[in-house]
Amino acid sequence: FEFALYRADIDGEFVAFTTAAGVPAPIFNADKSRHQGIELFLGYDFSAETRGYSITPRLSYSFNDFQFVDDPIFGNNQLAGLPRHIGRAEVDIRMRGLRIAPNVIFQSGRNFVDYANTLQSPGHALIGVEASYEISPSAVLFLDARNLADEAYILNYSTVADASIAPTLNVFIPGEGRAIFGGLRIGFGGKP
């Protein structure tokens, strides 16, 4: 179990935004800004070593509240570019060299793309599974399947000052569709 609360009042934070495609991002200093939030990790190992297996559920979560403080242009708006809620949940199951770990990665909606807080990026939840099998102490076969539901989502975006006055926006980066990776890890002189 890990838990952290944080708060930082910042003077003169560098804030970058995109003006047009191909133009380097201008940077300005926000007079005052505040970063505060919560970070949480929960995990517990339900081992049954005498039976040769273990089950370990894990959850990591972050709440991010980053905002301007009485800014002359943006008031107390949220700073753009960071989701308010981010998390990952998984159940890691191990038995006699086999590991299977289904997981969900989630990100909330209400992620502001602009500092004027007029445009938001939607949230998403992606389902995946990781698996591996230890062939020997130095060789492991692995499989990593991501976004199994093939959800269309926004992976990232460039921030802008005010999306409501931008003639066109080309700031969104799409996320990867369903993907499956696999291979063999080999360790020389130890575990892979």
pLDDT in tens, 123-160: 999 999 999 999 998 999 999 999 999 999 999 988 88
Spatial separation of the C-alpha atoms in residues 98 and 132, rounded to whole Å: 6
Share of the chain above pLDDT 90, in %: 66
pLDDT of res. 128: 98
Residue 190 reports pLDDT greater than 70? no
Tell me if 28 sits within 8 A of 64, measured CB to CB: no
Question: How much is the pLDDT for 116?
Answer: 93
94-129 pLDDT per residue, tens: 998 999 999 999 999 889 999 999 999 999 999 999
At 174 the pLDDT is: 95
Spatial neighbors of 3 by CB under 8 A, at least 6 apart, are 38, 39, 40, 41
How far is the C-alpha of 93 from the C-alpha of 102, rounded, in Å? 9
Does residue 45 have a pLDDT over 70?
Answer: yes
pLDDT value of position 189: 74
pLDDT at site 162: 86
Name the average pLDDT for the chain: 90
pLDDT of residue 50: 57
Residue 23 confidence (pLDDT) above 70: no
CB 176 within 8 A of CB 148: no
For residue 10, pLDDT over 90 is answered with yes
Q: Calculate the CA 122 to chain-centre distance.
A: 14
Residue 48, pLDDT above cutoff 90: no
For the chain, state the CA radius of gyration.
21
Strands 85-95, 53-68: pairing is: antiparallel
Q: What is the per-residue pLDDT for 19?
A: 61
pLDDT > 80? residue 171 = yes
Provide the pLDDT confidence category of residue 175 given band limits of 50, 70 and 90: very high
